[in-house]
Amino acid sequence: MKSISKRALALYLIILFFIAGCVLLFFNLVSNSGDWAMNRANRHLYSNGVLVTAGDIISSDGQVLVTTEDSKRVYSDNKALRMATLHTVGDSAGYIASGVQTSFRDELTGYTLLDGVYNLKRYGRGNDITLTINAEVCETAYRALGQKKGTVAVMNYKTGELVCIVSTPTYDINNKPGDILTDTTGKYDGVYMNRFFSGLYTPGSTFKIITAACAVENIPDIFSRTFTCKGKVQIGEGYVICSSTHGEITFEEALNRSCNCAFAEIAAELGTEKLQATAERLGFNSSLNKVSGKISCAKSRIDLQTASELDLGWAGIGQYTTLINPCHMLTVISSVANGGKAVEPYLIKSISSPEGESLFSASETSAGEYFDSATAAKLGSLLRSNVKNYYGDSYFPSMEFCGKTGTAEISDNEDAKPNALFVGYSQLDSMPFAVIVVVEDTTVSITSAVPIASKVMKAVKAEYAS
């Protein structure tokens, strides 16, 4: 009996190990099979590590951005469009990690867990992806940025469709420069990074939108207050310097003229906890959901825990340790435009099989309520006043445009040039689009970022609202 029970025990153990092995194998298969099949050594999909049999990537206005011909990836024959869409389309060798060719390679090659690369063998090609970006608008944004480093993006604030994403520096994928790795002049700094998704920038005065939101929510008489700007103001142990001497001004005029004295005083009055809480409710310090489920955005950061009163003053005007990610900031400004409701940005409009069958079609997804509708309306009227009374409607003719500039000092070195930013949107129902522009190492935003936003929004209007 003793030996029988020993044998039974041994048998049970064998069965147990067998089941455990099966579970492990299944788990490995589910979690890794995509990587195994998609490995660059797989000759069904890759030649010398380059993706060759994937489907097309098409812009929302029908431009084929990349296709496959004779087992080669062939890009648009329009050089400016290739340059403008490099970071969105990505390369087939995977240098640009957030590019669609890398992030959506399963979809492009038609790989599925059940069938492996069976579809690819059957049809000889993968699925086609239609993007939300508009080729014309992207090309305009690329030309407007010129030789400057930075990013421009436009989003439909009601649906979350990203109709423009451009990041510079860029290069022509058909003639990749040989000196990218060896260059020491800095002209290719971050060339493989899509600054819209992965960049982090000092917000400068664009952060005054968030300070203003916190003030609207917490200081009941803020709209009837007046502030006196003498060119600098003592906050705690030191001074916050203004760009000008604005004299006696209202809250609205303080935002119009981007008065540092008024906004540093407002931040000091609000205190660290309220300003931190407002920023965090708007998504600072937390990750946005991945764009179209696969592309990560860098996290916007704010930390006022150890800020002195003077630090808080600087934080209120966007010049402390706070950093914003352009995709997140575009989501915030879009929520103001959309009555306080935030939507998730997305880039993939649809996916169809080689036989033309629809496999996926995107729709809008709520990202929650950033503001109540009354606060959003008040912020909207302040941002409208900025454009109407200060920057000038001539930049955005017949668009009922709202916006805020920012010129961010990023170094104490007096010779260092600032980054220029602009965020804004049209209030027209026919044109529900918000824009963000970041231009690195440039002059003040009104002369650099605003004219770029102007060109891009005129192109948006021509494509969508005329």
Binding residues (CB under 5 A) for Zn ion: these are: 229, 242, 246, 259, 261
Q: Which is nearer to Zn ion, 155 or 261 (CB)?
A: 261
Distance between CA atoms of residues 320 and 382, nearest Å: 24
- To Zn ion, the closest distance from the beta carbon of 244 in angstroms equals 6
**Residue 397, Cα to own-chain centre: how many angstroms?**
26
- To Zn ion, the closest distance from the beta carbon of 232 in angstroms equals 9
Q: Which is nearer to Zn ion, 39 or 244 (CB)?
A: 244
Q: Which is nearer to Zn ion, 98 or 260 (CB)?
A: 260
Q: Which is nearer to Zn ion, 91 or 265 (CB)?
A: 265
C-alpha angle with apex 42: 41 to 47, nearest 5 degrees? Answer: 75
> By the 8 A CB rule, do 330 and 153 touch?
yes
263: nearest Cα among 273, 276, 253: 253
> By the 8 A CB rule, do 410 and 419 touch?
yes
Q: Which is nearer to Zn ion, 148 or 225 (CB)?
A: 225
Distance between CA atoms of residues 30 and 46, nearest Å: 22
> By the 8 A CB rule, do 438 and 425 touch?
no
- To Zn ion, the closest distance from the beta carbon of 205 in angstroms equals 11
Q: Which is nearer to Zn ion, 33 or 234 (CB)?
A: 234
Distance between CA atoms of residues 387 and 446, nearest Å: 11
> By the 8 A CB rule, do 391 and 448 touch?
no
Q: Which is nearer to Zn ion, 52 or 262 (CB)?
A: 262
311: nearest Cα among 213, 374, 386, 237: 237
Structure tokens at 360: 């996926």
Q: Which is nearer to Zn ion, 260 or 325 (CB)?
A: 260
Distance between CA atoms of residues 389 and 410, nearest Å: 28
Q: One-letter amino acid identity for 444? A: V
Q: Which is nearer to Zn ion, 247 or 368 (CB)?
A: 247
- To Zn ion, the closest distance from the beta carbon of 414 in angstroms equals 20
- To Zn ion, the closest distance from the beta carbon of 439 in angstroms equals 23
Asked if the bond preceding 169 is cis, omega within 30° of 0, the reply is yes
- To Zn ion, the closest distance from the beta carbon of 133 in angstroms equals 39
- To Zn ion, the closest distance from the beta carbon of 267 in angstroms equals 14
The single residue listed with the structure tokens 């992806």 is 129
- To Zn ion, the closest distance from the beta carbon of 259 in angstroms equals 3
Q: What is the CA radius of gyration of the chain?
A: 26
Distance between CA atoms of residues 59 and 132, nearest Å: 7
Distance between CA atoms of residues 407 and 386, nearest Å: 15
> By the 8 A CB rule, do 207 and 324 touch?
yes
- To Zn ion, the closest distance from the beta carbon of 227 in angstroms equals 8
